Amino acid sequence: MKINYSCVVDNKERYLTQGWLWANSLIKLGKVNPANVWVHFVKGIDDEYINKFVNEGINVALIDPYGDKKYCNKIAQMRNDKLKDADAIILMDIDMIVLDNFEDTLDFDYINSKIVNAINPPIEIIEELFATSGLTKVLPDVVVELNQGMTYGANFNGGLYFIPKKYYAAVQSGWEKWAQWLLKNGKPLYDAGKEANIDQVSFCMTVHENNIPIKYLTRLHNYPMPFQFGDADRIPYVLHYHTVMEEHKSNLIKVDYEPIGNVKKAIEIANEFITQTEKTK
């Protein structure tokens, strides 16, 4: 089974650094063929930077800013028909370090993704949006890990989406449709300061509208570094470090708790990789 991996890199210094680390971790630690990696650059990024990826055998494409021209930019990568030359695609945020290949843990009959870490946005907001839009909820609510609150089924953390080929068309059209709808009708999100969740909620709405079967991934596939969960059953496949580097004014992953066991090992592996990658860039 062929899987294409894809991300979007925006034109800001920290995103340029994150994009390079993401792609290299995927190839060097995740053992993914560079020919199966796509990096979509928002137009305006320097050609010299883009050519670094080309020289590594990574596929590149340019995209126009989409929707809110920030969080919704990731939706535009679905317009790349070359992504569909695979049995599935994995869309990822670039503030992630891949530590190990996880392809054999995925199910090609479902969209695979991790539920949000916290009730974000609050379930009442999603409920209001569904009611206003006329959408019918087709999935049961799910308990989130951080505070045991409830959220809508398929309200995924957008850091990693696994989308089998048979769902490409429905996801692409639905995601754009509902993102545009929320940009015009998402007042509850804006009033709550949750407009950054438009891409996430519109993906959830797409799944419900099309009744697409889903399977929830564990945090091993999308491990949120700002939060302390104790040890993990194994070294996580993917670390989602969010803003911990900026918060600690460091190019390394540092957290505000004492990591233990496999989580500590994962951070050590990631930081060694970051150090070596920074030396050779």
What is the torsion angle, in degrees rounded to the nearest 10, for the CA atoms of residue 154, residue 185, residue 137 and residue 120? 40
Q: What is the pLDDT of residues 22-38, one digit of tens each?
A: 999 999 999 999 999 99
**Structural domain spans, the chain:** 3-280
Query: pLDDT at position 150, please?
Result: 97
Q: Contact at 8 Å (CB) between 13 and 32?
A: no
Q: Contact at 8 Å (CB) between 6 and 171?
A: no
What value does the CA radius of gyration of the chain take, rounded to a whole number of Å?
A: 18
Q: Is there a cis peptide before residue 121, judged by omega within 30 degrees of 0?
A: yes
The answer, yes or no, to whether residue 148 has pLDDT greater than 90, is no
Q: What is the pLDDT of residues 208-255, one digit of tens each?
A: 999 999 999 999 999 999 999 999 999 999 999 998 888 777 889 999
Query: pLDDT at position 245, please?
Result: 85
pTM: 0.96
Q: What is the pLDDT of residues 173-199, one digit of tens each?
A: 999 999 999 999 999 999 999 999 999
- Give the pairing of strands 238-240 and 142-143: unpaired
Share of the chain above pLDDT 70, in %: 99
Within the chain, residue ranges assigned H as helices are: 13-28, 47-55, 123-133, 168-185, 187-191, 198-210, 244-247, 261-280
The answer, yes or no, to whether residue 112 has pLDDT greater than 80, is yes
Q: Contact at 8 Å (CB) between 172 and 180?
A: no
Q: Which residues of 222-232 are buried (b: 16+ CB within 10 A; e: fewer)?
A: bbbbebeeeeb
The answer, yes or no, to whether residue 281 has pLDDT greater than 90, is no
Question: What kind of fold does domain 3-280 have according to CATH?
Answer: Spore Coat Polysaccharide Biosynthesis Protein SpsA; Chain A (3.90.550)
Identity at 212, one-letter amino acid code: I
